[in-house]
Amino acid sequence: MQPGYQIHFHGFCDASVKAMAAALYLATNHNGNITSHIIASKTKVAPLHSVIGQPALQTHYTSGDELVVIDLLDRFSHLGKLLRTTAYILRCKKAHQRFRSHTHICTGEMDIALNHHIKAEQAKYFAAEVKQLKKAQPISTSSKLIALSPFISSTADNILRVGGRLHNARVTEPQRHPIILPKDSTLARLLIWQVHQDTLHDGIQIMLHTIRHKYWILQARILVKQCIHSCAICRRHKHIMLKQRMATLPKARVIPSPPFARSGLDYCGPFNIRIGSMAKRNVRKAYVAIFVCMVTKAVHIELAENLTSEAFINAYTRFVNRRGPCNHLYSDNGTTFIGADRLMAADLQAWHNEYSQQQLAN
């Protein structure tokens, strides 16, 4: 490059809801003789899904000038992408020139970008409060933030934080004085979505807990609910299996009656039981008859030596002797019960015949 030349780069870009375009010019000034050349230009039609409700993005800078960025926030649906893009743009600022030699964006730059957006959102939604606090005046009593006793730390990062009464609490500094964000803020929405992914699509409580480590978002619970509701993954996992509708309960279970007057019966087992003294170790199989009262759900348990009808009749006799007469007994029609029923019916018939004979004889 010959001496006496002044070189300027001029970058222009503009975007609307339909398309965006950018152009970069090189301008040289040699003793008042100015020439300019186009170096690169780019145009792009906006993707369909982002057409609705997107305000125009306008940036314009010339080399060495202060950067103007308007509404960058609304262009992104992912916090990480927003912060990386912001960090690249902020490198154009003189204060951040030291980062230009880095090939990648570092965490320090991401933090600076995040703080940049936090301050912008606070200035947008809490303009009055920020103005009053910067002048060291008390904020107005009608402010939404009055209960949070907010303050701005001018020595640190100029961010509006919750004052509160936790100055002496043994928690981290951001937890003690979380950053205040408005409910309608796009940044709050992006942060909540990020937390939702960081907590692996967890529920409301864990998300709120995670957010409050660093931020105090107004009406955060509503935003968290909206986030979970709009998440396709969560919706898929929340889907409840269809259940069979239960039928009306039978009369036996809803009409009041004495305990065990209407009972259900089933066997369970086999169980190994030991007969005689501990020393003998004579182990054999046995079953357990379970009588359940249909009304009170009380349970009576009897031992049945085996699956024969006789063993059941013994168990049933002990049950009736202990609990009183049973008017209705419901079972699963197992072979044992049918056999027992047949035996008892025959016994009843025999007794009836004998009784009739006796009556006739008398």
Q: Could you tell me the strand order of the sheet in which 160-161 lies?
A: 151-152, 160-161, 179-181, 215-217
Q: Which residues bind Zn ion (CB under 5 A)?
A: 201, 231, 233-234
Identify which of 295, 294, 302, 304 has the alpha carbon closest to the alpha carbon of residue 329: 294
Q: Which is nearer to Zn ion, 206 or 234 (CB)?
A: 234
The minimum distance between CB 210 and Zn ion, in angstroms, equals: 14
Q: Produce one character per residue of 120-138: b if its CB has 16 or more CB atoms within 10 Å, e if not.
A: bbbeebbeebbebbeeeee
Q: Which is nearer to Zn ion, 48 or 232 (CB)?
A: 232
The minimum distance between CB 200 and Zn ion, in angstroms, equals: 9
The minimum distance between CB 196 and Zn ion, in angstroms, equals: 6
Which amino acid does the sequence have at 52? I
Q: Which is nearer to Zn ion, 201 or 285 (CB)?
A: 201
Q: Which is nearer to Zn ion, 69 or 223 (CB)?
A: 223
Q: Which is nearer to Zn ion, 39 or 233 (CB)?
A: 233
The minimum distance between CB 190 and Zn ion, in angstroms, equals: 15
Q: Which is nearer to Zn ion, 201 or 328 (CB)?
A: 201
Crossing angle between the packed helical segments 79-90 and 186-198, to the nearest 10 degrees: 120
The whole-angstrom separation of Cα 18 and Cα 324 is: 86
Complete DSSP assignment for 168-224: T-SS-HHHHSPEEE-TT-HHHHHHHHHHHHHTTS--HHHHHHHHTTTEEETTHHHHH
The minimum distance between CB 206 and Zn ion, in angstroms, equals: 12
The minimum distance between CB 231 and Zn ion, in angstroms, equals: 3
Structure tokens at 361: 């004889």
